[in-house]
Structure 1
Amino acid sequence: MDIYESLREIMDAHPSTAPKARSIDEILKILFTPQRAGECTGCSICADERCPVKAIGMENNTAVINTAECIGCGLCVTGCPAGAVFFTERKQVPSTPATVMEMGLKVLQEKGRLESFQKIMQS
């Protein structure tokens, strides 16, 4: 199970904690917007190996990020050997109750998936 599926499972298990006006995709990418710097070497590691939702494609030997599909997990940032992908903080951040995060971690723990989720987030 990848990060996207884990987070979707959390939100589906506890729909009352999710703001009704936003989709899960919007909730997951609240804080940051992905950006691509000019240093892309065209290795395609971000597109082929790191992005769990395939939000990164390659055009003319350069990574192209589909921000509408991006879930903001940051795996592309940590996996880019050239340092060409980074996140910029959004100007306005909607408030998100801390209980949503706590509840999500509890669900992952109950399902025996917390450790694998933490390993993915640390890589």
Structure 2
Amino acid sequence: MSVKYTEDHEWIKVDGEIATIGISAYATKQLGDVVFVELPEIGADMEKGDEAAVVESVKAASEVYAPIGGEVTEVNEALEDAPETVNASPDGDGWFLKLKIKDASELDGLMDEAKYKAYCESL
């Protein structure tokens, strides 16, 4: 399962026609302790770049954008009671939502792990 990244620090893992989306460890370090997560509705239709979720930390509130378009098939309801999971496991249990992919070619514009690491180092 390959992982791709956006310049806004979202990650996306694709498994068949389902994509899991979360935010990177870099993003959680910038945000600080996450205290609240607002998730989208299941069945919502997202276009690439749409606001998919909201993360609030002790420092700031930040949007999580859809790296690709698709239909929301699942949200990580555990984050509503335990938003700190985003900090503890940003690329694991701290995922936000799953999308049924609308157009897989939208993945082509995203960064692989090596490019993303270099991008973060340049910030």
TM class by shorter chain equals: under 0.3
TM-score, with length taken from structure 1: 0.27
Answer 1 or 2: which has greater strand percent.
2
Answer 1 or 2: which has greater helix percent.
1
Q: Rg bigger for which structure?
A: 1
TM-score, with length taken from structure 2: 0.27
